[in-house]
Structure 1
């Protein structure tokens, strides 16, 4: 199946119409009886929007993409996670209490995607209240399954988003990531998922139904970002959605390098807090060997001064504070403890930023495991919560981090690596992943 960028190019050059692409996609969604990833569609809107996109292309057939009215996602049907408001569609967060809630305004990220030419044709399943990073199920829409093996989880809480991409039920997705909810599903389903630099993508319209959006001048932990079938699509989506609303503009910083051999790559492939399975470890080792063969510099260690166990514990405290701030259980921390926690977070970010003065990207597991059976409470003898360890560090510091597929197990389950980049240099991580995928013979 084509990527979003590829299908946009085919639409723009007249090789296919948006109507044809949209009808085909809607047919695949309707035919799905196993994955249960796309939980609401708006068929008439989708077809009308496709016809408008085709008419716009015909009206300016000789003009290049830049400088004309055709955006980088012109005519491409996409979906978004069922936690973003889309006018006229339900926003349920997988909670029966919100089953009848219909949004009257688009989320900011939805507006930006549409401004880039994308057509929001449906919404994808989530875990109830986005409350599980490892599984996706709720009482409204049921359980989403992994397309690689429907007896296994697609991850959570953006499991519907990742599964829809892997199953060919959408061309691009947008999800949210607090505790790995973009990266873990991407890893388990074999697609790409980016947690951008914290605060890079505006979050208006991403809130529990009926609650006002309160913008933060210092957004931490919770982040929204794209999922896709290629690293190039992550870049397209991020360029379309990053930065403040008009009339302000934002340009992604250029990648540090454009050849894999020029990258300085920090690596860590295992840790006692979340020891990787042999399947994950073998795939990572092989990938690193192939990176080294290009002439890229490999540095095998955590950043100086970083204690990964302490940072993972600090992330847990930050998550506790996040939920207390957003109406969950009140924290029992004293003021002094709160101040210490915040100092620790900022100190962790500073240590990683010093590291990225000499290192371009950091490569590590996204998860210690591949997709596991539904309902698991332990995984390969490890605690369920061990899934959080590898995603915790970029979540704590706010650095951009993406999950990318690096292969398949003997039974066909995806394996993945996590690429962490410098603060506000998201395209350095994206470009590295893009170059690595090409080197590995994939997208």
Structure 2
């Protein structure tokens, strides 16, 4: 009787079959992964194959924690190539990283390959990092779950403080494996599954955060998802507005090393106050992840894909992307969930409740 291939062997086979067309991986490590697997099976993650973002991802805190818990890294995923003025694509070993739903569109970035690897079923979990939306945008555009953790919660090499570690996964339930073994202070009693008594979740919905210009069809897809959450009893909308100041120039000042710039300080102070007040009244803020759908490989067009995400890199709040549906041309759209700083475990629980009420209807 022929034994079934191991989880790592199956993941490596899928990568070999699918990655030449998708360009999700820079490097694949078959010998190392298969050698590591027997010992890893005796640990809590039982040899779960996962991918890491970029060549340096294997040295990240998250990767080290996953390996210690019995995860097996199978390869490094693509990030933007050198010299790109906009960070929304990837360059893999087989060429340009393409969106698995539409090869003529970008998967988003900069965690491009991680999102594609998960969306195409090559792995069920991959590490990422998010300095302006680099986990949430590719998660939204590839139709998978993505979580940016609270800024400063996990070690980050980014001196500006804008970038935070994150995870891309097939679902929020799968992402719990990352949270359980990577987030400090996570304990079994604080498991992120929500009791039914906690529903409906009080939430504020904002289409544009008070300043962004959103593609009408993207807005319609997200609003329809929010309406389904209300009908399902998962969410109760609170009558409150989320009106922030456009964080673009402030983000750029901080990124450029001018965190003390008066305009940046004023924008951060104003937005922090508004968000803290809002999330004190309701534990959840809902928005589209991006104001646009996945664009072509030639460039981002008129709308910054970061318009609705980088405010939360400045403020430090944890934020997640949950699949909301598809535009008429077959592009995935993400629903962004934002929670109070440090409420990462609760946010994951809320994301699981949202996912349960939003079964994926694929085109």
TM over 0.5: yes
Distance 1:52 1:151, change over 3 A: same
Q: CA RMSD in A?
A: 2.7
Paired position in structure 1 for 2:251:
315
CA distance in 2, matches of 1:407, 1:350: 32
Q: Greater shift after overlay, 113-122 or 406-415?
A: 406-415
Paired position in structure 1 for 2:31:
44
Check if 1:261 corresponds to 2:247.
no
Alignment of 1:242-281 (within 5 A): 242-243=183-184, 249-251=185-187, 258-259=195-196, 261-270=199-208, 273-281=211-219
CA distance in 1, matches of 2:87, 2:195: 33
CA distance in 1, matches of 2:359, 2:133: 27
CA distance in 1, matches of 2:141, 2:32: 32
CA distance in 2, matches of 1:420, 1:312: 18
Alignment match of 1:76 (pick from 48, 51, 67)? 48
Check if 1:232 corresponds to 2:170.
no
Paired position in structure 2 for 1:324:
none
Are the aligned partners of 1:37 and 1:144 in contact in 2 as well (CA < 8 Å)? yes
Alignment match of 1:352 (pick from 265, 275, 282)? 275
Check if 1:26 corresponds to 2:9.
no
Are the aligned partners of 1:197 and 1:426 in contact in 2 as well (CA < 8 Å)? yes
Are the aligned partners of 2:26 and 2:55 in contact in 1 as well (CA < 8 Å)? no
CA distance in 2, matches of 1:352, 1:257: 23
Are the aligned partners of 1:201 and 1:225 in contact in 2 as well (CA < 8 Å)? no
Distance 1:319 1:299, change over 3 A: farther
Check if 1:282 corresponds to 2:220.
yes
- What is the DSSP-based 3-state SS (H/G/I as helix, E as strand, rest coil) of the residue aligned with 1:40? strand
TM-score normalised by length of structure 1: 0.73
CA distance in 2, matches of 1:263, 1:250: 22
CA distance in 2, matches of 1:180, 1:131: 16
CA distance in 1, matches of 2:341, 2:210: 27
- Listed one character per residue, the Cα deviations across residues 362-404 of structure 1 (whole Å, up to 9, x for unaligned) are 00010012212111341xxxx24x2121002211100000111
Paired position in structure 2 for 1:418:
336
CA distance in 1, matches of 2:263, 2:208: 29
Alignment of 1:164-313 (within 5 A): 164-203=117-156, 206=157, 220-243=161-184, 249-251=185-187, 258-259=195-196, 261-270=199-208, 273-295=211-233, 296-303=235-242, 306-309=243-246, 311-313=247-249
TM-score normalised by length of structure 2: 0.88
For structure 1, list consecutive stretches of 5 or more residues without a partner in the other structure.
1-15, 57-69, 87-105, 208-215, 244-248, 322-330
Are the aligned partners of 2:79 and 2:113 in contact in 1 as well (CA < 8 Å)? yes
For structure 2, list consecutive stretches of 5 or more residues without a partner in the other structure.
none
Instruction: Tell me by how many angstroms 1:222 deviates.
Output: 1.0
CA distance in 1, matches of 2:267, 2:29: 46
Instruction: Tell me by how many angstroms 1:415 deviates.
Output: 1.3
Paired position in structure 2 for 1:362:
285
Instruction: Tell me by how many angstroms 1:225 deviates.
Output: 0.9
Alignment match of 2:348 (pick from 419, 427, 430)? 430
Are the aligned partners of 2:57 and 2:127 in contact in 1 as well (CA < 8 Å)? no
Q: Greater shift after overlay, 360-369 or 406-415?
A: 406-415
- What is the DSSP-based 3-state SS (H/G/I as helix, E as strand, rest coil) of the residue aligned with 1:264? strand
Are the aligned partners of 2:325 and 2:360 in contact in 1 as well (CA < 8 Å)? no
CA distance in 1, matches of 2:124, 2:341: 28
Distance 1:409 1:302, change over 3 A: same
- What is the DSSP-based 3-state SS (H/G/I as helix, E as strand, rest coil) of the residue aligned with 1:362? strand
Are the aligned partners of 2:245 and 2:270 in contact in 1 as well (CA < 8 Å)? no
Paired position in structure 1 for 2:305:
387
- Listed one character per residue, the Cα deviations across residues 239-271 of structure 1 (whole Å, up to 9, x for unaligned) are 21123xxxxx55596669534733111101136
CA distance in 2, matches of 1:254, 1:354: 26
Paired position in structure 2 for 1:374:
297
- What is the DSSP-based 3-state SS (H/G/I as helix, E as strand, rest coil) of the residue aligned with 1:387? coil
Alignment of 1:23-172 (within 5 A): 23-32=9-18, 33-54=20-41, 56=42, 70-71=43-44, 73-86=45-58, 106-128=59-81, 132-137=86-91, 142-172=95-125
CA distance in 2, matches of 1:30, 1:111: 25
- Listed one character per residue, the Cα deviations across residues 292-337 of structure 1 (whole Å, up to 9, x for unaligned) are 224432025434xx5332x34322322222xxxxxxxxx5x9xxx5
Are the aligned partners of 1:186 and 1:403 in contact in 2 as well (CA < 8 Å)? yes
CA distance in 1, matches of 2:28, 2:21: 17
- What is the DSSP-based 3-state SS (H/G/I as helix, E as strand, rest coil) of the residue aligned with 2:309? helix
